Chain A
Amino acid sequence: MQQSLLEQLVEALRCMPGIGRKSAQRIAHQLLQRNRDAARHLSRIMADAMQNIGHCERCRTFTENSLCLLCANSKRDDSMLCIVENPADVDAIEEANYRGRYFVLLGHLSPLDGIGPDDIGLNELPKLLDEEQLAEVILATSSTVEGEATAHFISEMVKARGKQVSRIAHGVPMGGELEYSNSLTIAHALDGRKQI
C-alpha cells in the first residue's frame, strides 16, 4: 500500500539530526496547521541549498561560490593557517579575533569509522602548505584521541616543509570540542598555543 503524503512527510523529516518519529509527527502537524508559508519557504531554500552549496576550493567549508567569503577576503593574514574539524569551529575562532586563514577537515581521522586521511582532505592540504606566504599552521582539532592523532598526522606534513606548527593547548578541556567552548576560552587557547 502506498504511504499517504502525510506519512511521507513525517518519514522525510526524520532525516534531521535529533528528530525521532514523535518529533517528526509534531513538526509536520504544526507546519500544516499554522505555518504553511514558512514551510513552503523552507522547502524552496532547502532545495536551492542542497543543489547549490558545495565546498570552498581552498578551505573546504560550505559555500555556494568557488571560494567562501573568508578565503575571498584579501585582507586576511596569509601567514597563518588554522586547521579545524568543523565549519562551526570557524565561527567560534572568528569570535576570538583570529585573522588568518582556515582549512576545514569536516571530521577527524577515525579508522574505526572508515575515515582516513583523504576523507578529511589531507590530499588537498599540501598545496596550501606550499604557499610561500604561509609561515605558521595552528592545529585546532579537538582534544580527543582522534583529534590528537589527526593533529599529529598534519604536523608531520607541516614540519617536513620547514614551517612552524602549533597546537592550541590551554583552555579547551581534554576531550572537549571547540564548538561547545565559549569564545573567551578559545581566545586563551589561541594565545597559549604550543609549538610542536
Chain B
Amino acid sequence: MKVDLTPCYILHSRDYRESSLILEVMSREYGRVSLVAKGAKRNKKHQGINFNLYQKYLMSWVSRSELGTLIDVEIASTMNSMSPQQMMTGFYMNEIVLRLLHKHESHPELFDSYDATIFELAADNTDQALLRYFEKILLQSLGYGVIFDQDQSTGSPVVAGDNYYYKLDIGPCSDVQANGIVVSGKTLIELNNETLLDNKNKNEAKILLRSLLKQYLGDKPLASRQLYEAYIKNKLTS
C-alpha cells in the first residue's frame, strides 16, 4: 500500500538501529500505523524535519507488512510551544489512544478531536473540559456506544434537573435500584453537547469518564497519570 501526504500526529517514537526511529502514528484517514523513519535522528533525510509529539505532519509511506516505511514528510501547520503542564496532558491523550485504538482502524472524527484539543492545549487553554470531550469522542469512536442523553430506565431524554445512576455497560438510569455512579442530568447533557461550564459538573464528568475508560484500559496504571502525580508532588514538596 502507498499513502500520499496524509494528516498525521506522532503518538510515540522510539529509537531504531543507529539513526532511525519507529514512529507510532495516528493518521486521519488510515488510523494508527507504525512507520520507520530511516536516518531520522541524523536530520539528513526528510529535509531536516524533526519528529516531535503534538506537531501535525503530512506523511507519505509505503507498507508491505505491519511496519511501513516513511518516504516523505511535511509539516502541516506550525506548532506553538506548549507549557510543561500541557505536555503532560498530551502524554495522557497519547497513552489512552495507544492503549485503546487498534491499528489500521480509521476514525477521522477522533483525529479531528485530537487535533482540536492539541490546538487548544498549545494555546494554553487550561479548561479540563477539553480533555473530557476528547475522552468522550474516543469512547464513541471506538464503538463502545456510550450514552449520555437518554434515560435507560424509561427511554426518555435526560432531564437537567434530575439525578441519574450511570451503569457503565448500560448508561444513565433514573431507576433508584439501578445502583451506578451518581451523576446529574445537567452534567450528562453538558457533556453530550460539549458545553460543560461549572466545576461541579466538570468534576462529575471526570469521575464518570474515568470509570468508563477504566473498563477498557484495565488495571494496568497509566504511566502518564503517574508522571503527572509525581510532577505535582515534586512541585509541592521540593
Taking beta carbons and an 8 Å cutoff, which residues of A are in contact with B? 17-18, 109, 111-114, 116-117, 122, 126, 144-146, 148-149, 152-153, 156-157, 160-161, 173-177, 180
A145 near B234: Cβ-Cβ < 8 Å: no
Give Cα distance in the complex from A113 to B42, angstroms.
Answer: 22
A145 near B54: Cβ-Cβ < 8 Å: yes
| In the complex, chain B residues whose CB is within 8 Å of the CB of A145 | 52-54, 82, 87, 90
| In the complex, chain B residues whose CB is within 8 Å of the CB of A113 | 12, 14
Q: Is B94 an interface residue (CB 8 A)?
A: yes
Q: Which residue of A lies closest to B81 (CB)?
A: A148
B224 near A173: Cβ-Cβ < 8 Å: no
User: Total number of A-B contacts with CB less than 8 angstroms?
Assistant: 75
| In the complex, chain A residues whose CB is within 8 Å of the CB of B11 | 112
A144 near B17: Cβ-Cβ < 8 Å: no
| In the complex, chain B residues whose CB is within 8 Å of the CB of A116 | 223, 226-227, 230
B41 near A180: Cβ-Cβ < 8 Å: yes
Within B200-214, the residues touching A (CB, 8 Å) are: none
| In the complex, chain A residues whose CB is within 8 Å of the CB of B18 | 17-18
A149 near B87: Cβ-Cβ < 8 Å: yes
| In the complex, chain B residues whose CB is within 8 Å of the CB of A152 | 84, 87
Q: Is B91 an interface residue (CB 8 A)?
A: yes
Distance to closest chain B CB from A176 (angstroms): 7
Contact of A148 among B51, B87, B226, B238 (CB under 8 A): B87
A117 near B235: Cβ-Cβ < 8 Å: no
Shortest 6 CB-CB contacts between residues of A and residues of B: A175-B50, A152-B84, A111-B223, A18-B17, A145-B53, A111-B224
Distance to closest chain B CB from A91 (angstroms): 17
Q: Is B194 an interface residue (CB 8 A)?
A: no
Taking beta carbons and an 8 Å cutoff, which residues of B are in contact with A? 11-12, 14, 17-18, 41-43, 48, 50-54, 82, 84, 87-88, 90-91, 94-95, 98, 222-224, 226-227, 230-231, 234-235, 238
Give Cα distance in the complex from A120 to B41, angstroms.
Answer: 21
B41 near A177: Cβ-Cβ < 8 Å: yes
B42 near A180: Cβ-Cβ < 8 Å: yes
Give Cα distance in the complex from A148 to B84, angstroms.
Answer: 7
B53 near A153: Cβ-Cβ < 8 Å: no
B50 near A112: Cβ-Cβ < 8 Å: no
Q: Known contacts being A18-B18, A176-B43, is A112 close to B94, with CB within 8 Å?
A: yes
Distance to closest chain A CB from B73 (angstroms): 12
B234 near A112: Cβ-Cβ < 8 Å: no
Give Cα distance in the complex from A149 to B53, angstroms.
Answer: 12
Q: Which residue of B lies closest to A118 (CB)?
A: B230
A153 near B223: Cβ-Cβ < 8 Å: no
Sample of 8 more A-B contacts, CB < 8 Å, known A112-B12, A176-B43? A117-B234, A122-B234, A145-B52, A145-B54, A149-B88, A153-B231, A157-B238, A174-B52
Contact of B230 among A114, A117, A126, A160 (CB under 8 A): A117
| In the complex, chain B residues whose CB is within 8 Å of the CB of A144 | 50, 52-53
A153 near B95: Cβ-Cβ < 8 Å: no
Q: Which residue of B lies closest to A153 (CB)?
A: B231
Distance to closest chain B CB from A163 (angstroms): 12
A173 near B50: Cβ-Cβ < 8 Å: yes
Contact of A111 among B17, B84, B227 (CB under 8 A): B227
Q: Known contacts being A17-B18, A116-B230, A153-B84, is A175 close to B52, with CB within 8 Å?
A: yes
| In the complex, chain A residues whose CB is within 8 Å of the CB of B43 | 173, 176, 180
Distance to closest chain A CB from B217 (angstroms): 14
| In the complex, chain A residues whose CB is within 8 Å of the CB of B52 | 144-145, 174-175
Q: Which residue of A lies closest to B13 (CB)?
A: A144
Distance to closest chain B CB from A116 (angstroms): 6
Q: Which residue of B lies closest to A122 (CB)?
A: B234
